[in-house]
Structure 1
Amino acid sequence: MANAESESARLSNAESDATTPRNPETGGKTTPGNRLPERLSPQLATPVEEPPTGEWRYEVQFHGYRLLTRIEHGEVRLYNRNHQDWTDRLKLHADALAGLNLGDSWLDGELVLLDETGHSDFAALRQAFDISRTVDMVYFLFDAPFLNGVDLRQAPVEERRAALKKALNNNASKRLRFSESFSASQHDMFESAIALSLDSVVGKRQGSPYVSRRSDDWVKLRCRLRQAFVIVGFTRPQGKRSGFGALLLAVNGPTGLVYAGRVGTGFSQVQIKQLHEQLCTQQRDTPPLAEPLNAAQGRGVQWVEPTLTCEVEFTEWTRDNQVLQAIFLGLPPDTPASKVVREQPLPIKPATPKRQRRHKASAAKVDGVTITHPDRVVDSVSGVQKAELAQYYLDIAPWILPHLKLRPVALLRAPDGIGEDLFFQKHADRLEIPHIKQLDPQLDPGHAALMEIDDIHALVGAAQMGTVELHTWTATHDRIETPDLFVLDLDPDPSLPWSAMIEATGMTLAILDELGLQAFLKTSGGKGMHVIVPVARSEGWDTTKAFAKAISQFLTRQMPERITATMGPKNRVGKIFVDYLRNARGASTVAAYSVRARPGLPVSVPIARDELQSLRNAQQWDIYTALERARGLGADPWEGYNHRQRITARMWEQLDAQKPTD
């Protein structure tokens, strides 16, 4: 298994690099000290093509790191957008925030490094962060979802910002600043931004609340467009210029690379020299484009292999789909050529009155199913209510039901919300749930009947009974003694960086490749990744579990300093536990597209293998973005999943393991 061993070595090297009364002043709710949320997901802006109508104010679009501040009993903690704790890395900023003497609060902002013109420079910020030079970094604060013990999330954005600005009046630190805003009419928006030398702005709808998800109440508007392109060729230099004249650009289309124009400005002499030397090693005789260029476009072009990408700023796309007034910005470090497509901002939707949530409603209908207490908040971080969760399961039904049908299902129920008591229900004895099918009691002797969710009504009915998570067996109830898949659950020590999880998942895939087994990936919606391997129904529970264990132990032998096959927190310190125990009879794993009972209500989402490297974390999607992703998928990320594979004697030998005897 040479490839797997090579992957192991790479992983080893990588490690070394590596009710409450209203507050009369703000309209918010006072928050007892012990009710400040432990975690808060940031509100995200929606890209749009043009300034929206209505009442908006605009702020600078900073190019930096999103940073949220949590203050409780005077203790300041700083978190990035993935809730990694950066307090120790930003002690100067934490001290400055402590000097404000604020009560319990959550503050939102952006950490930036400014250049000599006063604009944020992300490349310089990243470099400074890598060498732990934080002294010149500036934390621009722009929102206060909680401030001095008051929950302001439902207060209008202009009131939240006014309260934040007032709280910063006594700030004496150069490392903290308030992000000022400006107003402009829809007609004058671009002119105003250009006058301020802004390449992009964030607009915030006046009167809007703070929500922990992407929202059209916040919009991102580029005054100049910017995106990555694939370099497919270059032209001869003109005049005194050496190296090359311009780069030919392309994006991936349905049938291959599509020509997107040229960029000939924005290069330094050093960049021209270095890039020309690199491109000369990748020359080819024919254009790597799906459609040939006309004679004028292709004249004097030296074609290159389409492996390098560059980031370009430009004013617009022309009618023939080429960039206009392009400026070279640099070479992005982590943008594979295969992922570069034309970015499409969302069109502006007409402003519509916000739907008012029901107050103290006793019941609601979701697809004909009665939802009692529809306004009950399931998760305080996202503010999602019970009826909204039921609606998610209704909307996601076409994608989740294929993973539920025929399989015994277990339910993680949170009748009073995920911050209260949770119940894991595997059988139908505790509570009869509307529309859920009860299976033959003989499938699990000595227990009440197992359950199955096989249609939309059962799915919504489960949500009505407080279900948040749906877990399934690795066998179907019609052939319950022979599993048709096994699961490897990669569960990391929380102290490990996400890059370690990416590497360990790659290592697992490499071993499965060597075995000749096709595997499928999904985010856990928690901390790690799930690797799913479909198998033929030829082996029983004990054999299938033993095979999964053999893979886990093989991984441990390859990478003992990073991976463990032994359960328990003390065995997982600094390591990733490859959990094979989910393959025992009666065990289960959270289903694809199931919500997780965690702050923010993340979702377990299937991904294609080539999406792994760009994955940001295991909670990348929530009930809003997971549904948006599912609806927008052009191809099934689990194509080939229905193919079942046999576990062979040769595979046992490769793993240096013995198949259990009957």
Structure 2
Amino acid sequence: MLGVDERDGSLRFAGTVKVELKPRPLAELEKKAAKLLRDDPPFYNPLPCEKDRDFVWLAPELVVEASFLEWTPSGEVRHPVFQGMRDDKPATAVTEETVVDVDEPESLPQAKGTTRASPGRAGTLVIAGVKVSNAERIIDDVTRLKKIDLVRYYDEIAEFALPYLKERPVSLVRAPEGIHGELFFQKHEERSKIPGITRLPVEMHPGHPPLLVVDHHEALIGLAQMNVVELHSWNAVQPDLDHPDRFILDLDPDPELSWQMMVDAATLSKVLLDEIGLKSFI
């Protein structure tokens, strides 16, 4: 479990991270931990008790270094990665730090075939005015596609995709660890600002942060920079979000069905929709 000190001196629970150490350092850590046992949690916002699971509480004196994607609205780290133990600073010096981009060490050449791409700082490429970091990171272990491939794809389809995204709130599926890692949905901007994104008035979705709309090329590239692999747009356009102007029929086949059977099912669905006067597309 991770914690950070608040300004008033209290300790906030900030998530969990898997500690990966070799046998000797791990044994040393266990010895230190054994001397720090306590009966109650040190956090003012501890995790709730779970059935058939016991927590071992320690005095907050051990310091670790962890990289992570961002701070969540609840004050926890998203997708943390353990980097090592720290003996050079006291636990009381650990506070919430500002998130910064970590760039790759080598610069990338300017993208060919587009006037919207230009080289940026070391490890970055600028496309449609958006800085793309970690562009060479593999996002699909099977095809070996890289993050820059996703960015360039969004860049190429922008003029065709934007008319179908315009004025429609979107839900995003992000894959910060690649498409085979953990995926999560996001409906609001949270703490990471998305370049070019449109934020709808909060009155349109009372009790929640502003809904997001992808109206500009820059926003689409910004989503690729944030590892967004799916965009699910609403079936209504703002400001009248209570009255959809379209519907999407999503066919989820059994894995045992052949592709041809799916093609036949989609074609038959279109025929039925055409017969009742609904214009449809496959």
Deviation at 1:407, TM superposition (A): 0.5
Distance 1:417 1:506 in 2: 33
Deviation at 1:470, TM superposition (A): 1.1
**Aligned 1:133-282 pairs, distance under 5 A:** none
Change (3 A) 1:493 1:454: same
- Verify the 8 A CA contact 1:412 1:468 in the aligned structure 2: yes
Equivalent position to 2:126, from 365, 372, 378: 365
- Verify the 8 A CA contact 2:139 2:177 in the aligned structure 1: yes
**Residue 207 (structure 2) pairs with residue 483 (structure 1):** no
> Match of 1:504?
265
Distance 2:279 2:185 in 1: 31
Distance 1:389 1:512 in 2: 34
What letter is aligned with 1:498?
A: W
Change (3 A) 1:506 1:389: closer
> Match of 2:150?
389
Distance 2:177 2:264 in 1: 38
Distance 2:193 2:130 in 1: 15
Deviation at 1:414, TM superposition (A): 0.9
> Match of 1:132?
none
Deviation at 1:430, TM superposition (A): 5.0
Q: Alignment RMSD, CA only?
A: 1.7
- Verify the 8 A CA contact 1:415 1:465 in the aligned structure 2: yes
What letter is aligned with 2:250?
A: D
Equivalent position to 1:492, from 243, 250, 253: 253
Distance 2:268 2:145 in 1: 37
What letter is aligned with 1:462?
A: L
TM-score (norm 1): 0.24
What letter is aligned with 1:364?
A: L
**Residue 220 (structure 2) pairs with residue 459 (structure 1):** yes
Distance 2:142 2:134 in 1: 19
- Verify the 8 A CA contact 1:410 1:425 in the aligned structure 2: yes
- Verify the 8 A CA contact 1:429 1:449 in the aligned structure 2: no
Equivalent position to 2:206, from 432, 442, 445: 445
Deviation at 1:457, TM superposition (A): 0.6
Deviation at 1:444, TM superposition (A): 1.4
Equivalent position to 2:231, from 456, 470, 474: 470
Deviation at 1:421, TM superposition (A): 1.6
- Structure 2 runs not aligned, ≥5 long: 1-118
> Match of 1:517?
278
Distance 1:508 1:402 in 2: 25
- Verify the 8 A CA contact 1:377 1:384 in the aligned structure 2: yes
Distance 1:366 1:506 in 2: 38
- Verify the 8 A CA contact 2:197 2:219 in the aligned structure 1: yes
Deviation at 1:510, TM superposition (A): 2.5
Question: 1:491-531, CA deviations, whole angstroms, 9 ceiling, x for partnerless residues?
Answer: 1111011222122223222322221222111xxxxxxxxxx
Query: What is the percentage of aligned positions where both structures have the same residue?
Result: 45
* Matched position secondary structure for 1:371: strand
* Matched position secondary structure for 2:194: coil
- Verify the 8 A CA contact 2:204 2:239 in the aligned structure 1: no
Number of residue pairs matched?
162
Question: 1:158-215, CA deviations, whole angstroms, 9 ceiling, x for partnerless residues?
Answer: xxxxxxxxxxxxxxxxxxxxxxxxxxxxxxxxxxxxxxxxxxxxxxxxxxxxxxxxxx
TM-score (norm 2): 0.54
Question: 1:535-565, CA deviations, whole angstroms, 9 ceiling, x for partnerless residues?
Answer: xxxxxxxxxxxxxxxxxxxxxxxxxxxxxxx
What letter is aligned with 1:457?
A: E
**Aligned 1:7-406 pairs, distance under 5 A:** 362-406=123-167
- Verify the 8 A CA contact 1:412 1:423 in the aligned structure 2: yes
- Verify the 8 A CA contact 1:406 1:454 in the aligned structure 2: yes
What letter is aligned with 1:470?
A: L
Deviation at 1:471, TM superposition (A): 1.1
What letter is aligned with 1:500?
A: M
> Match of 1:431?
192
Specify which structure has the higher proportion of strand: 1
- Verify the 8 A CA contact 1:377 1:383 in the aligned structure 2: yes
* Matched position secondary structure for 1:377: coil
> Match of 2:92?
none
Deviation at 1:394, TM superposition (A): 1.0
* Matched position secondary structure for 2:249: strand
* Matched position secondary structure for 1:412: strand
- Verify the 8 A CA contact 2:176 2:227 in the aligned structure 1: yes
Distance 2:214 2:275 in 1: 36
- Verify the 8 A CA contact 2:155 2:217 in the aligned structure 1: yes
Deviation at 1:429, TM superposition (A): 2.5
What letter is aligned with 1:473?
A: W
What letter is aligned with 2:264?
A: E
Distance 1:395 1:504 in 2: 30
What letter is aligned with 1:384?
A: L
- Verify the 8 A CA contact 1:366 1:387 in the aligned structure 2: no
- Verify the 8 A CA contact 1:438 1:452 in the aligned structure 2: yes
Question: 1:338-377, CA deviations, whole angstroms, 9 ceiling, x for partnerless residues?
Answer: xxxxxxxxxxxxxxxxxxxx9xx53221122111111111
Distance 1:511 1:363 in 2: 50
- Structure 1 runs not aligned, ≥5 long: 1-357, 522-662
Distance 2:190 2:229 in 1: 19
Distance 2:271 2:263 in 1: 12
- Verify the 8 A CA contact 2:196 2:218 in the aligned structure 1: yes
Distance 2:264 2:194 in 1: 42
